[in-house]
Amino acid sequence: MAQFRLKALEEVLNREPAEFVREDNLVSNYYGKLVFDETKMKKYLSKEAFSAVMDATKHGTTIDRKMADQIAQGMKAWALENGATHYTHWFHPLTDATAEKHDAFIVHGEKGSVVEAFSGSLLAQQEPDASSFPSGGIRQTFEARGYTAWDPTSPAFISETTLTIPTIFISYTGEALDYKTPLLRALHVVDKAATAVCQYFDKNVASVQANLGWEQEYFLIDEALYMARPDLILCGRTLMGHSSSKDQQLDDHYFSSIPTRVNRFMQDVENEAYKLGIPVKTRHNEVAPNQFELAPIFEEANLANDHNQLIMDIMQKIARRHKFRILYHEKPFQGINGSGKHNNWSLSTNTGVNLYSPGKNPKSNLLFLTFVINTLQAVYDNQDLLRASIYNAQNQHRLGANEAPPSILSVFLGTEISKMLDLMEEAVSDKKMTPDEKTALKLNIGRIPEIILDSTDRNRTSPFAFTGNRFEFRAVGSSANCASALIVLNTVMANQLNKFKTKVDALIEKGTKKDEAIFQVLKEIIINTKNIRFNGDGYSAEWVKEAAARGLSNINNVPEALSAYMRPEYQKMFDELGVFNKSELHGRVEVEYEKFLKKIQIESRVLADLAINHIVPTAVHYQTTLLENIKNMKEVFSADEFEELAGARKNLVREIGGHISAIKAKRTEMIEARKKANIIEDTIEKAKAYDETVLPFLPDIRYHIDKLELIVDNELWPLPKYRELLFVR
């Protein structure tokens, strides 16, 4: 076994950077080459078919079957010309991956021949066998039917030789079984709510879109070393491993020069991304050794999320070409930084205004402040829901672990915006504001832009930070489908904007002037939401205390975090806004609990196996060597000398024996705990049992294994060590 580890190390040392050929030196020459985008649609579709797609994209109108047929013909022609042989409906089920089933374009022709065919109905809707996708009981297996339906707002593309059509995935009865359906619904409600508020300021605003710029963090591990770690293969994270004497203490990895092999991999990824119209822009080394980040230019949220899911898949494939394996797990290694996926989020109007960008005059700044201040209330009222949207088995290891924000939601605004809000709070004294005061306030508001636009006080420790022209939701995990967070974020924002508008309208109705009414309601919110604002160090122990004093919630376990979804007021909100009906929400939460408990179950099994057939035999082997050595010493030395010389060795034998016994005993106890948990019928109770009675054994058993790793002869140790996984390349 140890040879396997040593052989793997040797293999890594002999690696050459993989070759790859860039499509063209100028990205603009091939960007979007494999996407059925506007330019191609114009070429391959009739005028009416083209406008049908454009209307659907921009105004959400439906495309009828006749038109869909025309579009399918155009799409097929383009796809065949570009080397596609198959087509697929691509969707985001509630698993950790996307799903696709490829069908060849061929149908029977005359005299035993085949011809390539594709129709509007195949483009618009399909019925994959849905019984194996999680639904949380929405779809009983006897009515396993689920449909995928074309999402014309995200363009089709060619992946290898398959025309890939982004779709939603719904049950026979129309309930969402995926991430995309509720995301589209949430984006729709935030559009409506934000547009209505924008109309106070500008009647030309007809729609508002949400934007997303994700920052994908990941680890790269050499393939040979990865293959020698069953825990990485099966769980995506190391369940054992003593920390390396050197890891990230010297901060020498962040932004340092990118190793050639990794650089080749990144270029290869970018090359593929550009062909698929994914605007990736930034690449760099992250804080932890072998940790990296990739970020694109932001896009409309639904498209950006499709692109994130797509690139995660592509990166996995390309990593193999370069003899790497990619880890998206939020905490693959204990003791060093884990990986997140910051979600940079903003709202912008059809008139080209970013609602989170301070404008040039008082009026546009009031619009800006309206959105910032309403965001405060939305986050304040929905802390638990936002947390639930990002909490899972993996991310719980990362949040609060000294490198990532704790499980407390707070909002960082920076000093300038905070000053503005304080000013508004003081100045706007209901109806008693003098014209002079108003002017003063407006002037002050009018002064923000320059300061903020080059704002440098960027707080890295906040889970939800204003960063100049957007909010950055940083608690999202690296393996997540961003939709989970975006569904909640956009829904709670829509809900808040609706409430805001109701209040402002009521004041206007009573005769208050519009600007004044807006000021008053904003002031009220500023006063109400002070507790959610925090510009200090979110990683500090003092903050945990202070947050508790402020009444902010701090939940550190998955079952409790997820339970927020079931709170009556939240269920009501989702239902009323049409994002999730009750059965959809229940189903979804059930799936989350199930994913959680199954992941713990798998980790517990893998650890039990590795402990008993990798670690214990190795430790026994070394112990035997020591015992023989002691016996030999006894023969050679006099009794006195022997006592003096063999003492330490005997202790080592005892120490090893102690760890072996502890591992065996705890392993047995853990298996018992699992058995007990497994007979619980109710998923939520079962998840709780896994959390409370099985999960704690993992660090417990690990402790003893990691101690053994330090004691046992290096030559014998079977699993690549942290210092090798993270530094040998």
Cβ of residue 210: shortest distance to ligand ADP, in angstroms?
Answer: 9
Q: 702 is written with which tokens?
A: 């690990």
Q: Is 453 in the site for ligand ADP (CB under 6 A)?
A: no
Sequence-ordered list of residues with C-beta below 8 angstroms from that of 34, at least 6 positions apart, any chain: 82, 157, 158, 159, 275, 276, 277
Enumerate the β-bridge partners of residue 149: 125, 168
Q: Is 283 helix (H, G, I), strand (E, B) or coil?
A: strand
Q: 408 is written with which tokens?
A: 């407390």
CA dist., res. 463 & res. 456, Å (int): 18
CA dist., res. 182 & res. 169, Å (int): 10
Q: What is the DSSP string of 225-278?
A: HHHT-HHHHHHSS-S--PPPSSSSTT--STT-PPPHHHHHHHHHHHHHHHHTT-
Cβ of residue 342: shortest distance to ligand ADP, in angstroms?
Answer: 6
Q: What are phi and psi of 413, to 5 degrees?
A: -110, -15
Q: Do residues 395 and 330 lie in contact, with contact meaning Cβ atoms separated by under 8 Å?
A: yes
354 touches, from ligand ADP, Mg ion, none (C-beta below 5 to 8 Å by class)? ligand ADP
479 touches, from Mg ion, ligand ADP, none (C-beta below 5 to 8 Å by class)? none
In the bound state with ligand ADP, the residue whose beta carbon lies nearer, of 100 and 293, is 293
In the bound state with ligand ADP, the residue whose beta carbon lies nearer, of 466 and 596, is 466
In the bound state with Mg ion, the residue whose beta carbon lies nearer, of 329 and 342, is 342
Cβ of residue 468: shortest distance to Mg ion, in angstroms?
Answer: 11
CA dist., res. 634 & res. 307, Å (int): 69
Cβ of residue 404: shortest distance to Mg ion, in angstroms?
Answer: 13
Q: Which amino acid type is present at position 702?
A: R
Of 278-286, 338-346, 437-445, 516-524: span binding Mg ion (CB under 5 A) = 338-346
Residues in binding contact with Mg ion, number by CB under 5 A: 1
Cβ of residue 389: shortest distance to Mg ion, in angstroms?
Answer: 18
In the bound state with Mg ion, the residue whose beta carbon lies nearer, of 108 and 281, is 281
Q: Which amino acid type is present at position 95?
A: T
- The CB-nearest residue to Mg ion is 342
Q: Is 463 in the site for ligand ADP (CB under 6 A)?
A: no
Instruction: Compose the 164-203 pattern: x for residues touching ligand ADP by CB under 6 A, - for all others.
Output: ----------------------------------------
Q: Do residues 354 and 297 lie in contact, with contact meaning Cβ atoms separated by under 8 Å?
A: no
Q: Is 211 in the site for ligand ADP (CB under 6 A)?
A: yes
Q: 134 is written with which tokens?
A: 């999680």
- The CB-nearest residue to ligand ADP is 213
Residue 691: DSSP 8-state: I
595 touches, from ligand ADP, Mg ion, none (C-beta below 5 to 8 Å by class)? none
Of 335-343, 357-365, 521-529, 591-599: span binding Mg ion (CB under 5 A) = 335-343
Of 20-28, 338-346, 375-383, 656-664: span binding ligand ADP (CB under 6 A) = 338-346
288-307 binders of ligand ADP (CB under 6 A):
295-298
In the bound state with ligand ADP, the residue whose beta carbon lies nearer, of 338 and 718, is 338
In the bound state with ligand ADP, the residue whose beta carbon lies nearer, of 235 and 262, is 262
295 touches, from Mg ion, ligand ADP, none (C-beta below 5 to 8 Å by class)? ligand ADP
Cβ of residue 481: shortest distance to ligand ADP, in angstroms?
Answer: 17
In the bound state with Mg ion, the residue whose beta carbon lies nearer, of 215 and 590, is 215
Instruction: Compose the 638-667 pattern: x for residues touching ligand ADP by CB under 6 A, - for all others.
Output: ------------------------------
CA dist., res. 451 & res. 454, Å (int): 6
Q: 538 is written with which tokens?
A: 């979110």
Cβ of residue 206: shortest distance to ligand ADP, in angstroms?
Answer: 20
CA dist., res. 477 & res. 341, Å (int): 5
CA dist., res. 524 & res. 554, Å (int): 25
Q: What is the DSSP string of 26-70?
A: -GGGTTTTTB--HHHHHHHS-HHHHHHHHHHHHH-----HHHHHH
Q: Could you give the C-alpha distances from 516 to 160, 370, 504, in angstroms and in order?
A: 58, 13, 9
Interface with ligand ADP (CB under 6 A), residue from 244, 337, 344, 484: 344
Cβ of residue 58: shortest distance to ligand ADP, in angstroms?
Answer: 19
Q: 312 is written with which tokens?
A: 């995660």
Instruction: Compose the 247-286 pattern: x for residues touching ligand ADP by CB under 6 A, - for all others.
Output: -----------------------------------x----
Q: In 368-414, where do the E strands start and end? A: 411-412
Residues in binding contact with ligand ADP, number by CB under 6 A: 15
Q: Is 469 in the site for ligand ADP (CB under 6 A)?
A: yes
Of 163-171, 208-216, 306-314, 643-651: span binding ligand ADP (CB under 6 A) = 208-216
Interface with ligand ADP (CB under 6 A), residue from 51, 85, 354, 583: 354
Sequence-ordered list of residues with C-beta below 8 angstroms from that of 657, at least 6 positions apart, any chain: 623
Interface with ligand ADP (CB under 6 A), residue from 215, 217, 223, 584: 215
298 touches, from Mg ion, ligand ADP, none (C-beta below 5 to 8 Å by class)? ligand ADP
* Cα–Cα nearest to 37, from 266, 279, 205: 279
Tokens 């409370």, located at residue: 692
Q: Is 601 in the site for ligand ADP (CB under 6 A)?
A: no
Give the per-residue SS3 of 663-685. HHHHHHHHHHHHHHHHCCCCHHH
Of 99-107, 227-235, 245-253, 337-345: span binding ligand ADP (CB under 6 A) = 337-345
Instruction: Compose the 665-694 pattern: x for residues touching ligand ADP by CB under 6 A, - for all others.
Output: ------------------------------
Interface with ligand ADP (CB under 6 A), residue from 171, 346, 394, 535: 346
In the bound state with ligand ADP, the residue whose beta carbon lies nearer, of 304 and 616, is 304
| Buried-state track 365-389, b at ≥16 Cβ within 10 A, e below 16 | bbbbbbbbbbbbbbbbbbbbbbbbb
CA dist., res. 249 & res. 399, Å (int): 20
Q: Is 342 in the site for Mg ion (CB under 5 A)?
A: yes
CA dist., res. 722 & res. 227, Å (int): 14
Residue 360: DSSP 8-state: S
In the bound state with ligand ADP, the residue whose beta carbon lies nearer, of 316 and 469, is 469
Q: Do residues 130 and 150 lie in contact, with contact meaning Cβ atoms separated by under 8 Å?
A: no
Sign of the dihedral defined by the CA atoms of residues 94, 97, 98, 99, in that order:
negative
213 touches, from ligand ADP, Mg ion, none (C-beta below 5 to 8 Å by class)? ligand ADP
286 touches, from ligand ADP, Mg ion, none (C-beta below 5 to 8 Å by class)? none
In the bound state with Mg ion, the residue whose beta carbon lies nearer, of 67 and 413, is 413
709 touches, from Mg ion, ligand ADP, none (C-beta below 5 to 8 Å by class)? none
In the bound state with ligand ADP, the residue whose beta carbon lies nearer, of 475 and 656, is 475
Q: 85 is written with which tokens?
A: 């042989």
Q: Which amino acid type is present at position 626?
A: L
Q: What are phi and psi of 716, to 5 degrees?
A: -90, -20
In the bound state with ligand ADP, the residue whose beta carbon lies nearer, of 443 and 453, is 453
Q: Is 370 in the site for ligand ADP (CB under 6 A)?
A: no
Q: What are phi and psi of 311, to 5 degrees?
A: -70, -30
In the bound state with ligand ADP, the residue whose beta carbon lies nearer, of 198 and 526, is 198
Q: Is 213 in the site for ligand ADP (CB under 6 A)?
A: yes
Sequence-ordered list of residues with C-beta below 8 angstroms from that of 477, at least 6 positions apart, any chain: 330, 339, 340, 341, 390, 392, 394, 395, 398
**Residue ranges in contact with ligand ADP by CB under 6 A:** 211, 213, 215, 282, 295-298, 342, 344-346, 354, 469-470
What are the residues binding Mg ion (CB under 5 A)? 342
